[in-house]
Amino acid sequence: MRPPILRRLLRRVASTAVLGLLAATLSTTATAAAQPAAAAQAAAGLQQVTGFGSNPGNLQMYAYTPANLPANAPLVVALHGCTQTANAYYTNSGWPKFADQWGFAVVFPQTTSANNSLSCFGWFDPAEDTRGKGEAASVVQMVDYAKEHYGSDGRRVYVTGLSAGGGMTADLLAAYPDVFAGGSVASGLPAQCATSQAAASGCQTGPQKLTPAQWGDKVRAAYPGYSGPRPRVAIWQGTSDYTVYPANATALRDQWTDVWGIGQTPSSTDTLPGNTTRSVYADASGRPAVETYSVSGMGHGLPVSPGSGDQQCGTAAAYFLNTICSTYYTGVFWGLDGGGSPGGGGDDGLPAPAGVTVTGITDTTVSLSWSAVAGATSYAVHRNGTKIASPTATTYTDTGLTAGTAYRYTVAALDASGTAGSASAQVTATTTGGSAPATCYTATNYAHVTAGRAHTSGGYVYANGSNQNMGLYNVFVSHTLKESPAGYFVLADSGCTA
């Protein structure tokens, strides 16, 4: 029988061939940047932490803590992709910008060629990605260190990752729902999609065809008997990703909506910058539990949007693709902006405002009212997940809207220090007047689902909004869909006038 260290080494070496697909298109420059010497020369502000625990997964811990980090601040764990480093993710992802702006710490775990020759996290290996074992356990030890040394709030810990880091993110959310309040998977894999080296490449090019319940069972089996709250999950995917195919985003959507028990029909869809379609799947209270972000035409990588704008971030580089700042939208989804959005933000502070009601609608305005919260000095109003106003009164009128368009609103109370309490239940208002100009889309059924224009049920595809049956879920059947108003699609194969 081989010694444990030798068995581990052999497992790591053998896994390299399987993971080659995840790194097949990395440039020579990116590979050079991933050398351990470069990682040791972390950028100013990013610090290596040693002695964070027994470290069964043989990982390295790097952390960024903004100046004047408040006590009980949130914590984000960010996992790099294959051949990347903690420093590369720190430099290009945009997380330091929002850590400074919104006030939270970021931990950047790093695996190296000592674990895997391509520096990939072991998302497919039960010895690494399951509760209490290997790399997964090392990441949780880093979280424990941050709670003890940075004062991080254990109820507001989030994890995100790219590619192999995204696969590990999904596994961590499944194995540790008691640790992570939310997650974000970018170009990644469903939790426990593969449990062997041989199955890994099959997941990357299109996971096994399971029902949502079967995908959900993989999550439930990762921590048997757990009955507490589940993490809120964002899913980012490029439609032209040929390294981790878009079918993985659909499987992730099926998996986590089933875990939440909310079905696979989106509560709403909208369009964001960078040719991005967001589909929202709300829980029973109306709060987004799962959100998918489909970036049309984007390949394999993390969406970033270099610039100084409020909703811009990151640096374009190998596998950091200039489309949209996914870090901003992920942070807002988790509530890191202090707006009390789903998944975070002051759940142990002021209570959520009750009685949020739409009191008036025109073609360009929506008026809201709500009940006062004791101790509140103002309120944060969020439209479609983005903070738009901080009125001191218990009423607000949103202006400059588009006619015939649906908008989602939540309200959170702010105390004297500006800290947000829990978000209210979501309300939806559709402005009056003529609908926005129709938009026509011709694509395969598979592409329509991936883009958020349709959904699947029982192997068939149905148009979002009209729920018209479009036939089998595959790449061989094509249809034209007409969108009008926003988020409402009807079959228009006989002709579509925009």
- The angle, 0 to 180 degrees and rounded to 10, between the axes of the packed helices 212-222 and 247-260 is 70
Does residue 33 carry a pLDDT above 50? no
pLDDT for 133: 96
Domain spanning 4-334 has what CATH number?
Answer: 3.40.50.1820
pLDDT for 463: 87
- Residue scoring higher pLDDT (424 or 462): 462
pLDDT for 344: 38
* Residue 57: pLDDT band with limits 50, 70, 90: very high
Catalytic residues, by residue number, are 163
Strand partners, 277: 271, 294
Give yes or no for a contact between 481 and 438, defined as CB atoms under 8 angstroms apart.
Answer: no
Contacts 24+ apart (CB under 8 A), 309-315: 311/273, 313/93, 313/94, 313/97, 313/98, 314/92, 314/93, 314/94, 315/91, 315/92
pLDDT for 349: 66
In the chain, ranges of CATH 3.40.50.1820 domains: 4-334
* Residue 435: pLDDT band with limits 50, 70, 90: low
Does residue 39 carry a pLDDT above 70? no
pLDDT-wise least confident of 68-82, 178-192, 283-297, 431-445: 431-445
Mean pLDDT of the chain, nearest integer: 85
pLDDT for 43: 39
The amino acid that residue 375 corresponds to is: G
pLDDT for 201: 87
Does residue 208 carry a pLDDT above 80? yes
Does residue 7 carry a pLDDT above 60? no
- Smallest CA-to-CA distance from 448 within 425, 486, 478, 409 is with 478
pLDDT for 468: 86
pLDDT for 196: 86
What is the mean pLDDT of the segment spanning 298-323? 96
pLDDT for 324: 97
- The 10s digit of each residue's pLDDT in 245-263 is 999 999 999 999 999 999 8
* Residue 425: pLDDT band with limits 50, 70, 90: low
* Residue 418: pLDDT band with limits 50, 70, 90: confident
pLDDT for 458: 66
**Tokens read off for 315:** 């640096």
In the chain, ranges of CATH 2.60.40.10 domains: 357-430
- The 10s digit of each residue's pLDDT in 223-238 is 998 988 999 999 999 9
* Residue 449: pLDDT band with limits 50, 70, 90: confident
Strands 320-322 and 302-304, by their bridges, are parallel
Does residue 417 carry a pLDDT above 50? yes
DSSP symbol at 345: S
pTM value is: 0.67
CA-CA distances (angstroms) from residue 151 to 60, 145, 435? Answer: 21, 9, 50
- The 10s digit of each residue's pLDDT in 128-161 is 999 999 999 999 999 999 999 999 999 999 999 9
pLDDT for 6: 34
pLDDT for 427: 80
What is the mean pLDDT of the segment spanning 434-457? 80
Classify domain 357-430 at the CATH superfamily level: Immunoglobulins (2.60.40.10)
What is the mean pLDDT of the segment spanning 187-192? 97
Helices marked H in 320-397: 326-334
- The 10s digit of each residue's pLDDT in 211-226 is 999 999 999 999 998 9
What sign for the dihedral angle of Cα 372, 374, 377, 379?
Answer: negative
Helices marked H in 384-474: 445-450
Does residue 34 carry a pLDDT above 80? no
pLDDT for 12: 45
Exposure letters 166-180 (e unless 16+ CB within 10 A, then b): bbbbbbbbbbbbebb
- Residue scoring higher pLDDT (420 or 59): 59
pLDDT-wise least confident of 82-91, 174-183, 190-199: 190-199
Does residue 25 carry a pLDDT above 60? no
